[in-house]
Amino acid sequence: MTRYLAEELNWKKVALVTTTGLSYSEGLTSIFKPALAECGIEIVAEQSIMEKDTNFSAQVTALSQKEFDGLVFTGYYTEGALFMKEMRKQGLQQVMVGGDGLLGKELYQLGEEAVKGSMLYAGFAVDTKNAAGKTKEFIEKYQAKNNGALPDMFSSQGYDAVLLLAEAMKAAQSSDPTVFKEKLAQTKNFQGVTGTITFDANREPIKSPVYLMEVKDSPEYPVKAVIPITVQ
């Protein structure tokens, strides 16, 4: 996402908002900071909020004293939506970007006009124009079994997780976790319905591509870009 902001949108400066005490947000902030620096994007202002807060007037007032291209928000959709409403109330027109913690219909339902243009990334999104192979087949089968509904990030990643376990069990010729876990850790270039999955030396999954979605006129967020990830 940070490469996209720098290279495609030409962002130079951002404000960063972290939900203090929320491990997801604090962890994502710690990932965004070096990534932004690597892409030459300066953090010109930082603000903290708390989960379940509803009044963000003080934080937004502080941000209004700075010039920045966009807001990096690492928390969840409820606070994100309300934060953007306060920004619009105070006349700030920058858009928000964040992680899959923003992925929920509530972002649009709560934020309405204020969240239009917001961008978020996730491990999977239905890209109807470009879906092919396993992904296209999975989408069609899912729709057939779910009255035409499209799969979301959780159902598709859950599907891949089961397939990863099955492959590891086959390779180890055992369903004993103490046996097949080493085969699972050795996974390289696994072709799933969400993309290609590899585990690194720390057993962290690296998946390509990442899907960047944009909020428009409904709670169904279309794919803005499909970003390939290089495994180091």
The domain segmentation of the chain, as residue ranges, is 2-122, 133-205
Note the pLDDT tens digit of each residue in 182-201.
Answer: 999 999 999 999 999 999 99
Strand residues in the chain grouped as ranges (E): 13-20, 42-50, 70-73, 95-98, 119-122, 190-191, 196-199, 205-208, 210-214, 223-227
- Measure the N-to-C terminal CA separation of the chain; round to a whole number of Å: 17
Query: Which residue intervals of 8-56 are DSSP H helices?
Result: 23-38
Length of the chain in residues, anyone? 232
Q: Say which DSSP state 154 is in.
A: H
In whole angstroms, what is the distance from residue 80 CA to residue 36 CA? 20
What SS3 state is found at 18?
strand
With a cut of 70, say whether residue 78 has pLDDT above it. yes
Note the pLDDT tens digit of each residue in 134-161.
Answer: 999 999 999 999 999 989 889 999 999 9
Dihedral class, residue 65 (left if φ above 0, else alpha if ψ from -120 to 50, else beta):
alpha
In single-letter form, the type of residue at position 187 comes to T
Helix (H) or strand (E) holding 166: helix 153-172
Note the pLDDT tens digit of each residue in 13-51.
Answer: 999 999 999 999 999 999 999 999 999 999 999 999 999
Using alpha carbons, select from 95, 51, 45, 46 the residue that is nearest to residue 77.
51
With a cut of 80, say whether residue 230 has pLDDT above it. no
Give the pLDDT mean for 156-178.
96
Query: Parallel, antiparallel, or unpaired for β 223-227 and 210-214?
Result: antiparallel
- Phi and psi at 47, nearest 5°, equal -135, 150
Please tell me the CATH superfamily of domain 2-122, with its number. Response regulator (3.40.50.2300)
Neighbours of 143 (CB within 10 A): 14
Note the pLDDT tens digit of each residue in 48-63.
Answer: 999 999 999 999 999 9
Q: What is the pTM of this model?
A: 0.89
What SS3 state is found at 34?
helix
Residue that has been written with the tokens 């976790």 in this structure: 177
User: Residue 140: CB partners within 8 Å, gap ≥ 6?
Assistant: none
In whole angstroms, what is the distance from residue 7 CA to residue 126 CA? 24
CATH architecture of the domain with range 133-205:
3-Layer(aba) Sandwich (3.40)
Place 231 in a pLDDT band, splitting at 50, 70 and 90. Answer: low
In whole angstroms, what is the distance from residue 203 CA to residue 156 CA? 20
Given a contact cutoff of 8 angstroms between Cβ atoms, the answer to whether 56 and 80 are in contact is no
What is the per-residue pLDDT for 41?
A: 98
Answer yes or no: same fold for 2-122 and 133-205.
yes
With a cut of 70, say whether residue 232 has pLDDT above it. no
